[in-house]
Amino acid sequence: MKAIGYTNAGPISAEDALIELEVPVPQPAPKDLLVEVRGISVNPVDVKVRANMQPDGPHRILGFDAAGIVKEVGSEVTRFSPGDEVFYAGDITRPGTNAELQLVDERIVGRKPSSLGFAEAAGMPLTAITAWEILFDSFRLNEGEGAGEALLVIGGAGGVGSILIQLAKKLTRLIVVATASRPETKAWVERMGADHVVNHRKPLDEEMKALGVSPRYVAALTNTDQHFAAITELIKPRGHIALIDDPKSLDVLPLKFKAISLSWEFMFTRPMFQTEDMEVQHALLNRVADLLDDGTLASTVQRHGGTMSVENLRKAHELQESGTAIGKTVLDGFSTSRAAAT
């Protein structure tokens, strides 16, 4: 089968940063689905892995979001059958979605939203899981809670920020403040439902003071190290900070005096460590599919990059690395054009 991956970690500008591969069709383990990939999306983790992680073997297949059709199931699969349409974010320890076929554990797979095509559906799983786990695992909120409190989303126009704003507005009673610095990103986060927008190019503590809002919760989705001192200043005592990026160092001692909680969100933790509760990702993806289908949530896909190829995937990586991406970028899978022709 066809796949796209890399053999040497490095910059996207390298001639062999992404290459087409021919690899064997994988065989399902007992809890696996073999999925024909019809759509994928590109996330920051794709470019981080490609740039920094040398493959364990001769190559690594990238991709951490997909929507497709179940072709085969393992001997212990109970949730899905061949022919089912699914979407998922996968497992960082296994070969990725940039392939014609992929294996994925059924416990981290949801039904594809019927209102979305495959490529658009592929734009939702990773960011939706991340945002959901920030709100309901890290912050320990329950649906309907949060009245009188505020959430600050730093990097509101990115993939995670776009869906986090929506989930917070639709499923909690939080006031949502999002950061954006350009007219187009400001317009986007307002479209996603943010109550207020502040500029992360300016000191955030001053921006929030001028707004008159002191958040209980802060989702630091980008440049956490640059904003950490301001976050410490602006957050309420006994507040909670959740971050998803990779700051080289943080001085957390100032958090002590406000008794601030700090946690990392990493949506691959459950499948990576085969946690006892990893099936919650199956349940939450089904819930997200329901919310998309009934119009509660809106797609965060901003750009369709064409059909899977080295050239189109390279362009998507370049856009992600540029720091100017809004929402999600998606591509059709290898199999989509073949299916359309049959």
What pLDDT sits at residue 324?
86
In the chain the beta strands, taken as DSSP E runs, fall at 2-6, 19-22, 32-42, 60-61, 66-73, 85-88, 101-105, 109-111, 150-154, 175-179, 196-198, 217-220, 240-243, 261-264, 301-307, 328-332
Q: Provide mean pLDDT across the span 187-202.
A: 96
For the residues 127-156, what does the mean pLDDT come to?
98
CB 39 within 8 A of CB 122: yes
Mean pLDDT within 239-266: 96
> What CA–CA distance (Å, rounded) separates 182 from 34?
42
Q: State the CB neighbour count (10 A cutoff) for residue 12.
A: 18
- Identify which has the larger pLDDT, 193 or 56: 193
Contacts of 323 by beta carbon, 8 Å cutoff, 6+ apart: none
> Would you state the pLDDT for residue 323?
84
Cβ burial 78-107 (10 Å sphere, 16+ → b, else e): ebbeeebbbbbbbbbeebbbbbbbbbbbbb
Q: Check whether 334 has a pLDDT greater than 80.
A: yes
Return d(Cα 278, Cα 256) in angstroms, integer: 32
pLDDT at 293 over 90: yes
Radius of gyration of the chain (CA): 20
Q: Which two tokens stand for residue 15?
A: 């001639």
The yes-or-no verdict on residue 288 having pLDDT over 70 is yes
Burial 244-270 (b: 16+ CB within 10 A, else e): beeeeebeeeebeeeebebeebebbeb
pTM recorded for the entire structure: 0.95
Residue 337 pLDDT > 90, yes or no? no
pLDDT band of 336, cuts 50, 70, 90? low
Backbone angles phi, psi at 148, to 5 degrees: 85, -5
Mean pLDDT over 4-11 rounds to 95
CB atoms within 10 A of CB 38: 25
- Is the pLDDT at 104 greater than 90, yes or no? yes
Does 310 score more than 60 pLDDT? yes
Please give the distance of CA 166 from its chain centroid, rounded to a whole number.
14
Percent of residues, the chain, with pLDDT higher than 90: 95
d(CA 3, CA 123): 19
If we measure between CA atoms, which residue out of 12, 89, 21 comes closest to residue 334?
21
Round to whole Å and give the CA distance between 262 and 139: 10
228/261 Cα distance (integer angstroms): 13
- Domains in the chain, CATH or no CATH each: 2-124+299-341 (3.90.180.10), 127-264 (3.40.50.720)
Token pair for 172? 């909690």
End-to-end CA distance of the chain: 18
223-251 pLDDT per residue, tens? 999 999 999 999 999 999 999 999 999 99
* Paired residues of 109 in beta bridges: 88
Average pLDDT in the chain: 95
